Amino acid sequence: MTNLAIFDLDHTLINADSDNTWPQYLMQKGVVDAEFVRMKNDKFYQDYLNGCLDIDEFLQFQLAPLTRFSMEELAVMHREFTQAFILPHISPMAKMLVQSHRQTGDELLVISSTNEFIITPICHLFGIENIIGTQLEIGANGRYTGGYIGTPSLKEGKITRLNEWLAARGETLQSYGKSYFYSDSKNDLPLLRHVSDPVAVNPDEVLLQEATEKGWPVLNFM
C-alpha cells in the first residue's frame, strides 16, 4: 500500500519563510511603501510565531500588491524572488528527504498556509506537483483580485484542505499505508496529531516539547 508524505514548506523544506520574505523582495524592488510594509510584515510574522495570526487581516495585506501586476509580470518577479530569497535556503538534507520518499514510491504533497502563487514554483524545485496553499481569487481580467477562495490552510484549516484534496481523488487518509507530516511549527500541531507518522523539523519550542513527550522523530536541517 502506498504511503502519503506531506510536507510543510517554510522552515521545513526551506530554511526561510517565503510568506515573510516575499514582502522583503517587494521592498527591495521598490514597488511598495517600505516603512509601512516592514512594520506590518514584522508584526504579522511575530503573530504567526506566537500562534495568534489573524489570517484574514494578513491575507488582505499580503495579497494587495499582487493586484497591481499581470500574471506575466508576477512570473518574472517570482523568478527574481526565488533566485535571491529561496534558493540560498534550500538544504541538501531537505532535498534528500523528499527524494527518499519519492524513491520508495510514496505520494508527495505540500500543505502550506502560504498562498499558492508563492509556493507553487518553490514546490516544483523539489519535483512536487501535489500542492495545497491558500487559494487566490482571479478576476475576469485574469489578474489576482486580492481575495482568497475557500479555507486558508492554517492550523485546523490544513486538515480541512487535506480532506478536500483526498475527497477529490476518491480517497481518505486510510487509503494510504502510512501518512507522514513534516513540520516546524506549533501551528501545525492539529495535522501532526492527525497523521500516523508525525515528524518535527527545525521545531519551535512548543512543537519540540510535544515531539519529545510523544516520541516523535525530530530532524534539524538548519
Same domain, 136 and 177: yes
pLDDT at 222 over 80: no
Same domain, 171 and 135: yes
Query: For 13-26, what is the mean pLDDT?
Result: 95
Same domain, 79 and 121: no
Split into its structural domains, the chain has a count of: 2
Tens digit of each residue's pLDDT (9 = 90 or more) over 132-153: 999 999 999 999 999 999 999 9
Give the pLDDT of residue 221.
Answer: 86
- Picking from 70, 88, 106, the residue at the C-terminal end of a domain is 88
Same domain, 9 and 24: no
Same domain, 8 and 106: yes
pLDDT at 92 over 80: yes
Same domain, 72 and 35: yes
Same domain, 131 and 206: yes
Give the pLDDT of residue 51.
Answer: 86
- Percent of the chain at pLDDT > 90 equals 92
Query: For 57-77, what is the mean pLDDT?
Result: 95
Residue 56 vs residues 29, 30, 44, 148, 149: alpha-carbon distances, Å: 26, 25, 11, 9, 12
Same domain, 205 and 123: yes
pLDDT at 110 over 80: yes
Same domain, 68 and 104: no
Query: For 90-100, what is the mean pLDDT?
Result: 96
| 98 burial level (CB within 10 Å; 0-12, 13-18, 19+) | buried
With bands split at pLDDT 50, 70 and 90, how would you rate the model's confidence at 177?
very high
The residue written with cell numbers 486510510 in the block is 174
Same domain, 172 and 186: yes
What's 59's domain CATH number? 1.20.1440.100
With bands split at pLDDT 50, 70 and 90, how would you rate the model's confidence at 160?
very high
Catalytic positions: 8, 10
Same domain, 114 and 8: yes
Would the pTM of this model clear 0.75, i.e. be above it?
yes
What's 197's domain CATH number? 3.40.50.1000
For 211, the domain range is 4-15+91-219
Give the pLDDT of residue 60.
Answer: 93
